């Protein structure tokens, strides 16, 4: 029994209390990740600050693209370098139906010319499904065959054929026969159409003998609240080439009409280009009366050999000037074509005459119109 007790005591006496571990001495070996972080070099601080400043300055660069909220695909669209910097780009002319209405007046029906006009406008636009064409032709909607031919060429486009009788009737009712004959209907008709078609209060008028290479929707954001129309200035035609400044001064002193300018007329003022217009139908009160008055005062019915400046005088100080890029140019060279938004149609076309419609000889044709002629035109239009 004594041996048992001694063995137990011996084992118990051999136990010693465990000494506490000196954690402060062994911290580096047990927790190596808690060492003090290295101090970054000053150049790193400088580069990080410079990067933040650079990113902040990028916010002041002008926008190069925009994304319209009405676009279901939310595509980024680059701003056109040829567009005017002043108008704001919108997507619609008509606030009610959200469509861009494009109107054209053709004295002699030529489907080939209309096809080139429509195809060039559609192919140059980023929103062709929002374009709505209104073609005023001699037969209008009575000519079902012509309408169906155009629909075959442009099956997904919005287009209508309208008659010309009501517009011509308004002009004839308010003018004499001599005054009516002195007017170019393709130039005066855009200003009468809103009184016949109440739904067309704001639209883009395009002469049928044009090829559009710019985006037509860029014209729709222009604010016309204070103007009857918007047009580019044609400085190849100036006011003093039609009427002298002495005559204008005498008229200004003796007559008191609301369409006469309060300020003196600039004798060498550029005339508006009536080939492409943005029309505000709400600001055209007494416009036809003003045109006929100027035509009568200047006795222009006796001078049918020259272009009637009555429309330009009626628009004096009443139209908004478009960017020069929207001035119609001749497709004379490759440089002109590449820098222009709009040029004259250079293909064969039908010309009205008293003895029937004639076609201009082929020697005067260019090649640009072929680029915008729809592929099925030969079969559908019989070209």
Structural domain boundaries in the chain: 100-235+271-346+354-362
Across residues 85-94, what is the average pLDDT?
A: 42
96-105, 333-342, 351-360, range with greatest mean pLDDT: 96-105
pLDDT in tens, 163-220: 999 999 999 999 888 888 888 899 999 999 999 998 898 999 999 999 999 999 999 8
C-alpha 361, offset from chain centre: 33
Helix or strand (DSSP H, E) at 105: strand 100-105
User: Is a pLDDT exceeding 50 seen at residue 4?
Assistant: no
pLDDT band per the 50, 70, 90 thresholds, residue 36: low
pLDDT band per the 50, 70, 90 thresholds, residue 86: very low
**Nearest-angstrom CA–CA distance, 335 and 218:** 22
Question: Do residues 212 and 342 lie in contact, with contact meaning Cβ atoms separated by under 8 Å?
Answer: yes
**Nearest-angstrom CA–CA distance, 290 and 296:** 10
The model's pTM: 0.73
Tokens of 225: 């609240």
pLDDT on residue 56: 83
pLDDT band per the 50, 70, 90 thresholds, residue 306: low
User: Is a pLDDT exceeding 60 seen at residue 22?
Assistant: no
Residue that wins the pLDDT comparison between 146 and 29: 146
Least confident of 286-290, 365-369, 372-376: 365-369
Helix (H, G, I), strand (E, B) or coil at 71: coil
Does the structural domain 100-235+271-346+354-362 have CATH classification 1.10.10.60?
no
pLDDT on residue 90: 43
> How many beta carbons lie within 10 A of that of residue 94, not counting itself?
17
pLDDT band per the 50, 70, 90 thresholds, residue 358: low
C-alpha 143, offset from chain centre: 30
pLDDT in tens, 255-301: 889 999 989 999 899 999 999 999 999 999 899 999 999 988 988 76
pLDDT on residue 65: 63
**Nearest-angstrom CA–CA distance, 366 and 357:** 21
User: Is a pLDDT exceeding 60 seen at residue 231?
Assistant: yes
pLDDT on residue 220: 86
pLDDT on residue 59: 77
Question: Do residues 163 and 142 lie in contact, with contact meaning Cβ atoms separated by under 8 Å?
Answer: yes
pLDDT on residue 24: 47
In the chain, the percentage of residues whose pLDDT exceeds 90 is: 47
Residue from 27, 28, 29, 49 nearest 40 by CA? 49
Across residues 43-64, what is the average pLDDT?
A: 80
pLDDT on residue 27: 47
**Nearest-angstrom CA–CA distance, 151 and 374:** 12
Question: Do residues 93 and 203 lie in contact, with contact meaning Cβ atoms separated by under 8 Å?
Answer: yes
């Amino acid at each position: 029994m004594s041996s048992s007790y001694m063995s137990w005591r011996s084992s118990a006496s051999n136990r010693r209390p465990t000494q506490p571990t000196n954690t402060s001495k062994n911290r580096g070996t047990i927790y190596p990740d808690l060492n003090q972080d290295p101090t970054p070099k000053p150049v790193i601080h400088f580069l990080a600050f410079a990067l933040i400043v650079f990113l902040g300055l990028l916010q002041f660069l002008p926008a190069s693209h925009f994304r319209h909220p009405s676009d279901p695909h939310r595509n980024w669209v680059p701003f056109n370098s040829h567009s005017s910097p002043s108008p704001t780009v919108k997507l619609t002319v008509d606030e009610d139906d959200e469509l861009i209405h494009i109107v054209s007046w053709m004295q002699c029906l030529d489907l080939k010319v209309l096809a080139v006009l429509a195809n060039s406008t559609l192919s140059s636009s980023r929103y062709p499904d929002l374009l709505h064409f209104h073609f005023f032709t001699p037969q209008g909607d009575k000519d079902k065959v012509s309408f169906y031919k155009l629909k075959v060429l442009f099956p997904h486009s919005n287009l209508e054929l309208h008659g010309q009788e009501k517009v011509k009737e308004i002009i004839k009712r308010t003018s004499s026969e001599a005054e009516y004959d002195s007017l170019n209907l393709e130039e005066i008709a855009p200003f009468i159409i809103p009184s016949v078609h109440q739904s067309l209060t704001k639209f883009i008028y395009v002469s049928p003998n044009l090829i559009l290479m710019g985006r037509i929707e860029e014209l729709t954001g222009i604010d016309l609240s204070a103007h009857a129309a918007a047009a580019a200035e044609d400085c190849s035609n100036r006011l003093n080439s039609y009427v002298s400044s002495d005559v204008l001064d005498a008229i200004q002193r003796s007559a008191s009409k609301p369409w006469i300018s309060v300020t003196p007329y600039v004798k060498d003022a550029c005339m508006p280009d009536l080939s492409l217009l943005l029309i505000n139908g709400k600001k055209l009160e007494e416009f036809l009366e003003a045109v006929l008055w100027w035509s009568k005062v200047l006795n222009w019915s006796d001078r049918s050999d020259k272009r009637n400046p009555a429309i330009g005088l009626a628009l004096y100080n009443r139209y908004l000037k478009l960017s020069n890029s929207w001035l119609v140019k001749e497709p004379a060279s490759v440089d002109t074509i590449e820098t222009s938004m709009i040029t004259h149609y250079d293909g064969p076309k039908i010309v009205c005459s008293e003895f029937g419609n004639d076609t201009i000889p082929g020697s005067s044709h260019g090649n640009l119109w072929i680029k915008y002629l729809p592929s099925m035109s030969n079969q559908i239009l019989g070209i």
